Amino acid sequence: MIGILQMLLAFIVALGVLITFHEFGHFWVARRCNVKVLQFAVGFGRPLWRRKFGADDTEFVIGMVPLGGYVRMLDEREAPVSAAEQGRAFNNKSLGQRFAIVAAGPIFNFIFAILAYWLVFIIGITGLKPVLGSVQDGKPVAQSGLQAGDEIIAIDGQATPTWNTALEYLVAGVVEGDTAALRVRDGRGAERALTLDLGAISIDAMAAGNLLDLLGFEPARPRAPATLGQVSYQGAAWRGGLREADEIVAVDGVPVQGWQHWVELIRAAPDTPMTVTIARDGATIDMVVTPEAKTSEQGERIGFIGVGLDPAAGMDDSLLAREAYPWHQAAWKGVVKTIDMSVMTLQILGRMITGQASLKNLSGPVSIAQYAGQTAQLGIVAFLGFLALVSISLGILNLLPIPMLDGGHLCYYLVEFVKGSPVSDTVQLLAQRVGLALLFSLMALAIYNDVLRLVG
């Protein structure tokens, strides 16, 4: 229950921040163009809070449903305007000013993404170095010449200090259907150049979360001692006699090489009794533990005993790296990252439109809420990265040439620029109906995809 509440809170905070920033873009540029703003609303439906501020008595509103917002401006097409205020009506402004006001919302989404990434790179990202732990024969990684123990230090000329950065470049390569130029360093420090073919991997397969398996490798993980932290009461480990602070020495006579090895042995033995040798209070003790069987997210039957790693037991940090920059370099990194993510989003969208990628990749509010909750639990850096990515998606979505969206209005203004007169009200009304139907269809498809993900 607490997890669901955290997820909903993170979802509301995320949408509230992003929608407010988007609408503030419209508001700020409208004020710079001397357009009177009547209402600034975040959310739809019944108002939870409303208050008027400023010389224009602009009403600020927070609605019950946090799935959008709007800025209502003085406009002769919506209501009569007094002669004294006609110069402040939106419809009486120049074409350039109207274009700037409408474009400001999506542009502010991209500005928000830059600021979020800027903070991420200032705070710093701690992660694993991109070192390969194991490589599967016959898969793209092995075919490229990569070997276990190799560290990927650059992809397409871009440094990759952590797996987080390396995987972003690999995902971009899959979306482009291209090869990636790798610079790798082996365990002896010798560097070499390799080429990794990513063209055979489909976006749909990658979206299913199987990228590492498709490429054919497992990352090297820090070695942690197999010392028990939390032991679930009445779980399989508890019933077998295991307790907190026990050090796992061997399983069925096989020496345990660390926590990851211990986990692998447990997962491989569902409903199978095993003799676990532990060290406790200076003595060595043998116990019989039978892992319970459960089904993993991939549908695999695995063993589970209900124990956790002791965080105070120490861990090999030789595989850990931290990516952080001074504020001025972080600002440039934020700009570059926003551009890269925008390009990749457009590429994926283009492939969905052309049928090269499935529409199942569309995510709706349920998926966004789940991601919001998960990243919020991981900390401020992960949550800021999530906000930046969603802000980019909102910016691109609003720039699509669909009536009812900012992009649709910008298309009207481009037509007006070419023909020298505004698009007729009749054409705009018809286009709005088509746009509304299209938006409802997209939303329905996204929610349908969310439901399918929830049920399996």
Query: Taking each helix axis from N to C terminus, what angle separates 406-419 and 95-123, rounded to the nearest 10 degrees?
Result: 140
CB 184 within 8 Å of CB 159? no
Report which of 262, 235, 260, 269 is spatially closest to residue 248, judged by C-alpha positions: 262
Placement of tokens 């990636």 in the chain: 180
Report which of 108, 2, 57 is spatially closest to residue 395, judged by C-alpha positions: 108
Would you state the torsion angle of the CA atoms of residues 407, 403, 42, 121, taken in this order, to the nearest 10 degrees? -30
Residue 429 exposed, middle or buried by CB count within 10 Å (0-12, 13-18, 19+): exposed
Q: Where are the alpha helices (DSSP H) in 72-94?
A: none
Give the integer Cα–Cα distance in Å for 448 and 113.
Answer: 28
CB 204 within 8 Å of CB 357? yes
166: helix, coil or strand? helix
φ/ψ of 341, rounded to 5, equals: -70, -35
DSSP 86: G
134: helix, coil or strand? strand
φ/ψ of 426, rounded to 5, equals: -65, -45
Placement of tokens 């069987």 in the chain: 293
DSSP string, 319-348: TEEEE---HHHHHHHHHHHHHHHHHHHHHH
Q: Where are the alpha helices (DSSP H) in 83-186?
A: 95-123, 140-144, 163-176
Give the integer Cα–Cα distance in Å for 357 and 381.
Answer: 30
Would you state the torsion angle of the CA atoms of residues 179, 181, 186, 189, taken in this order, to the nearest 10 degrees? 180
The one catalytic residue among 23, 59, 76, 264: 23
Q: Residue 23 catalytic?
A: yes
| Residues carrying an active site annotation | 23
